[in-house]
Structure formats: structure tokens, C-alpha cells
Amino acid sequence: MASDFERKLVSALGSDAVLVGEPLSSHTTFKIGGPADYLVRPTTVEQVKSVVDLCREGGVDLHVIGLGSDLLVADAGLRGVVMELSDNFSEIHVDERGLVSAQAGASNASVAQAALEAGLTGYEFASGIPGTVGGAAIMNAGAYGGEFADVALSCACVTREGELHEVRAAEADWGYRHSRMDDEGMVVLAVLLKLDPGDRDEIRARMDDLAQRRCAKQPLEMPSAGSTFKRPEGHYAGKLIQDAGLQGVAVGGAEVSRKHAGFVVNTGGATAEDVRGLIGLVRDSVFDESGVLLEPEVRMWGFDR
């Protein structure tokens, strides 16, 4: 029998948008993760606000995901509500001033493609980042010399209290894999980007070049969460891991990629505990070898502290 909380979710979103006991392995790029009590897929700002309000009022944990990259979910799953903002919340609009407005669930690739079609440059760096613009705003995603903060004007958010709030770039406190929105538990609804006019052929060539570089250097053919560790100051995580002799080391189905040591990959059937164990092994071994303590970039949800 449905709980009162479940009935409220269904009333707010409709039954098709509320999944009970949904395996999160189907919603993460690692292809790992147990069931969520509830996975919800809102399609309007009011529905997002309703989920935030219901969780706050009911004392229910709320997690927000986009395409499930940069994320490791425990094998036992997650208690509470997982709100997915991906293709259900992914509209993109480009105007004549070079402003790009994108809902949080729009993929970085689709935003880069929309910019290309409009002859706008500045978001090519993100064209291969496997996530959404909402996640890019939360983590100040970056690659190949560019980062989200370089092109963002503002983010439309819902606060923990269920209030709509615009966070301007000067207020976002963006840093390396950091933002005010993350610190304060805001849900990013949409972003506004300012891009520059450019030559379409040059923009396309830049995107193609970055795609080729990623394909050549990164294990894109295997499930992973992207770069496993943050870049330590003055070092590169992959180089430290390689120098410690860890490339190809495995725990269960999790392996330090033989193609790029900065990635832990799922070779098939890896559990979250396999991945977490391998991350711990890498951290300890690199510290023993170099004295550098690696900090995971991958977020880990549902594990006992």
C-alpha cells in the first residue's frame, strides 16, 4: 500500500513521474547502484518546488541527479527521493545577443551543439563532458583550459526552503569543483550563458579535435564516472597513480584504467564496494609513494560514514 508521502508525490507529479524502488544502476554512467526509495522526474519548475517542499516537510532526504556522471551510489541504494533532471528538463534557447538559456537537465553536449548551430563560441570545452549543465554549474565543470564559470552569467535555483532564487555569477563562489549552490544545497533549474560570435567551421573543428583527444586518451568505451580524483595542486592524479604502479590494478570488477590511470572503470559486474575499495587502495598507495593525498572527485552516496 502506498504511503502518505508517496501519494503526495504522485499527486504533485503524476504516477508516470514517480518510480518506486528504481535501480540507480540504470541512471548512472558507472552502471552501478542499488534502488532509490523514489525516483521522480518533474517537468516544470512548480513540480521541482513541490518535490523540495514535500521532502523538507516530511523530513525525507533529497538527492538530485542529471545524467548520473561523477557519481557512485551504494549497492544498498539510497533512502528518500532522487530527483532526476535530464531529458525531462532540458530545453535550450539561444537569442540574437549570444545568450544561451538552458534548463538544468540539458546535456553539455547538446548545449555545445546548439551554440555551434547559432555560430557561438565559448562552450566547446564542455562538449565532451558527460553530464548536464546543472551539474556543470554545481561543480564548475572544466576541461581543456575552460570552465563553466568562464561563460556563466547566472543560475536559476530552488533553495532548500523551496524559494526561487537567482544566483548571479559574482555570487556563485565558483572554484575548482566548487560552488555556492552546492554548499547551500540548492537545486539548479536553469543556467544563462554568454557566448561570443564565432566561425561555425572553426567551432566545429575545435569540438572535433577535443572529441578525438578524449577518445584517444580516455576509456570512453567502458562505464566510469569520469575522472576519479580531483587534480592535486602541482600534480596530475593520473601521473601519480601510474608512477605508483597501479595502472591495471583491480578490486573485483573495478579496475584502474589501462588507458588512463586517472579513471576507475567498471570492467563488468563491479559493485559499489569494489569501486570504493579500489579508490581507497589507490589513495593509500599514492600517499605512501609520493606523500600526496588524492581527494575523490566522484561523489559517493548511500555509504555509511
Separation between Cα atoms, residue 303 and residue 305, nearest integer Å: 6
**Which residues are registered as beta bridge partners of 81?**
38, 62
**Which residues are registered as beta bridge partners of 187?**
158
Residue 227 is a catalytic residue:
yes
Residue 168 is a catalytic residue:
no
Judged by DSSP in three states, 158 sits in strand
At a CB cut-off of 8 Å and minimum separation 6, what does 54 contact?
5, 8, 9, 12, 60
Strands 35-40 and 254-256: unpaired
Question: Of 216, 191, 184, 185, nearest to 141 (Cα)?
Answer: 191
Catalytic residue among 86, 107, 127, 177: 177
Catalytic residue among 22, 227, 255, 283: 227
72 vs 22, 64, 121, 263, CA distance in Å? Answer: 16, 13, 33, 13
Residue 221 is a catalytic residue:
no
Tell me which residues are annotated as active site: 177, 227, 297
